[in-house]
Chain A
Amino acid sequence: MEPRSELLSIIIKRLHKEERILAVRRVVLFAIMFACSVIGLVPAFNMLMSDISSSGFYNFFSLIFSDFSVVATYWQNFTMILLETLPALSLALFLAVILTFLQSTKLLLKDIKKLNIIRHGF
């Protein structure tokens, strides 16, 4: 039994449709991730700045610029106090938001480009 002559084009069309649906879903997903990361950037940055200020990290870190020779002499104690006052949680949160922002931007642009190729062939 021979398959119909238009079967190949039907399969190709179906594949293109599936590809388009998949690309649209990915665009929507990454657009949501992008929007969330943009919204989250400001509070994460504010939280980091507030923690840097309240923990004293900024004051100790600025000693590098004002008293470099003292910092170089007592570098062990200086390193310890920087580590003690480093706002690790808010820094990790901020970096995670930045990472999400960059990754979602990259994947969103990639999928928009892909969607254009599927729709218009360029």
Chain B
Amino acid sequence: MDFNKTIIFSIAGVIVLCFVFGLGIFIGTRRADFSFRWAEQYHQNFAGPREGFLGMGNMMQNDFIDANGVIGEVISINGSKITIKGKDNVEKIVTTDEETIIMCQRQNFKLSELKSGDSVVIMGEPNNNGQIEADFIRIMPAPTKGCLKNN
């Protein structure tokens, strides 16, 4: 009876291990793919050297970039594209469309009301240009100022 239990638990353990391993490979591949596209498209997206503006030359040596979201500060807004300086000091281009939801506390914002310096949490999907197509942008209000719209 104990022997059977051991075999069943061993098989279950191997299945869980394989699942976690597969999941790790899947996530890692997505991040690696996004990081590769981000690096490949860097000149086109940011019009400058990778080591340039924010001094992030060794970014790629540290880790891969998160592909499905970013947390950071808005650097600039150009049309429907937002440039974000992430927590890891990596610049990311986030694209928006009319379906992108932008919120601060309980208020809905428009893209034009977003301003440089806003802290944001963005969730979205990576595209082939090393950018994130945003589904949702949450603006984190400044502790004392609350949600201020750009006039």
A–B Cβ pairs within 8 angstroms, 10 of them = A60-B71, A60-B121, A63-B121, A67-B136, A74-B135, A77-B68, A77-B69, A81-B68, A84-B66, A84-B68
User: Is A66 within 8 A of B138, CB to CB?
Assistant: yes
Chain B residues with Cβ below 8 Å from A66 are 138
Within the complex, the shortest CB–CB distance from A59 to chain B, in Å, comes to 5
Interface residues of A in 34-63 (CB under 8 A from B): 54, 56, 59-60, 63
* Residue A102 interfacial (CB < 8 Å): no
Interface residues of A in 4-56 (CB under 8 A from B): 54, 56
CA A36 – CA B27 in complex, angstroms? 34
Interface residues of A in 56-114 (CB under 8 A from B): 56, 59-60, 63, 66-67, 70, 73-74, 77-78, 80-81, 83-85, 88
CA A35 – CA B121 in complex, angstroms? 41
Interface size on B, residues (CB 8 A): 20
Cβ-closest chain A residue relative to B31 = A84
CA A81 – CA B138 in complex, angstroms? 15
Chain B residues with Cβ below 8 Å from A81 are 66, 68-69, 123
User: Is B68 within 8 A of A56, CB to CB?
Assistant: no
* Residue B87 interfacial (CB < 8 Å): yes
Total A-B Cβ pairs within 8 A: 55
User: Is B136 within 8 A of A70, CB to CB?
Assistant: yes
Residue in B71, B101, B135 whose beta carbon sits within 8 Å of that of A56 in the complex: B71
Chain B 103-138: CB-based contact to A (< 8 A → 1; otherwise 0): 100000000000000000101110000000001101
Given A56-B121, A85-B69, 6 more A-B residue pairs with CB atoms under 8 Å apart are: A67-B136, A67-B138, A81-B66, A81-B123, A84-B31, A84-B68
User: Is B136 within 8 A of A84, CB to CB?
Assistant: no
User: Is B87 within 8 A of A80, CB to CB?
Assistant: no
Cβ-closest chain B residue relative to A70 = B136
Give residues in A with beta carbon < 8 Å to B: 54, 56, 59-60, 63, 66-67, 70, 73-74, 77-78, 80-81, 83-85, 88
CA A70 – CA B111 in complex, angstroms? 18
User: Is B31 within 8 A of A63, CB to CB?
Assistant: no
* Residue B81 interfacial (CB < 8 Å): no
CA A84 – CA B65 in complex, angstroms? 9
User: Is B67 within 8 A of A80, CB to CB?
Assistant: yes
* Residue B50 interfacial (CB < 8 Å): no
Chain B 22-33: CB-based contact to A (< 8 A → 1; otherwise 0): 011001001100
Q: Top 3 nearest A-B pairs by Cβ distance?
A: A81-B69, A81-B68, A80-B68
